[in-house]
Amino acid sequence: MPFIPTEIALRSSAPVTIDHDKCIGDKGCTVCVDVCPLDLLAIDKSTGKAYMQFDECWYCLPCQHDCPTGALKVDIPYLLR
């Protein structure tokens, strides 16, 4: 039996957070997903709300700035704060 390659996930707290009451991703909005230069945001199929999928944020703010409802907040990533 050969050794089986395994992976361990690294935890990270997402610098981008969403106010589910305000997010209208379930009504078809994808503005933040569209503008992120690093392509880090997505709509969660189960909730219909935006979420941060990848931890590679440049804290540049187009997502927060362009969100039509003020549902998205960017914090400086923890390592730099």
Partner 1 sequence: MSTPQTHILEYDIVVVGGGTAGPMAAVKAKEANPNLKVLLLEKANVKRSGAISMGMDGLNNAVVPGFATPEQYTKEITIANDGIVDQSTVYAYAQHSYATIEELDRWGVKFEKDLTGDYAMKKVHHMGTYVLPMPEGHNVKKVLYRQLKRARVAITNRVVATRLLTDENGAIAGVLGFDCRTADFYVIRAKAVILSTGAAGRLGLPASGYLMGTYENPTNAGDGYSMAFHAGAALRNLECYQINPLIKDYNGPACAYVTGPLGGFTANNKGERFIECDYWSGQMMWEFYQELQSGNGPVFLKLDHLAEETIQTIETILHGNERPSRGQFHARRGTDYRTQMIEMHISEIGFCSGHSASGVYVNSKAETSVPGLYAAGDMAAVPHNYMLGAFTYGWFAGRNAAEYVSGRELPAADAAQVEKERTRIFAPLLRDNGLPPAQVEYKLRRFVNDYLQPPKVTRRYEIALNRFAEIAEDIEQLHARNPHELMRAAEVGFIHDCAEMAARASLFRTESRWGLYHYRVDHPQRNDAEWFVHTELYKNDKGEIAHRKKEIEPYSIAIDTEEGQAYNRLRIKKDEAPEPQAA
Cβ closer to partner 1: 26 or 56? 56
Question: Strands, E, within 1-81: which ranges?
Answer: 16-18, 41-43, 50-52, 72-74
> Which residues lie across from 5 on neighbouring strands?
none
Query: In the complex, what is the shortest distance from the CB of residue 81 to ligand SF4, in angstroms, rounded to a whole number?
Result: 14
**Among residues 13, 47, 58, 78, which is the contact residue for ligand SF4, using CB under 6 A?**
58
Considering only residues 11 to 30 of the shown chain, the ones binding ligand SF4 according to CB under 6 A are 16, 18, 23-25, 29-30
Cβ closer to ligand SF4: 2 or 63? 63
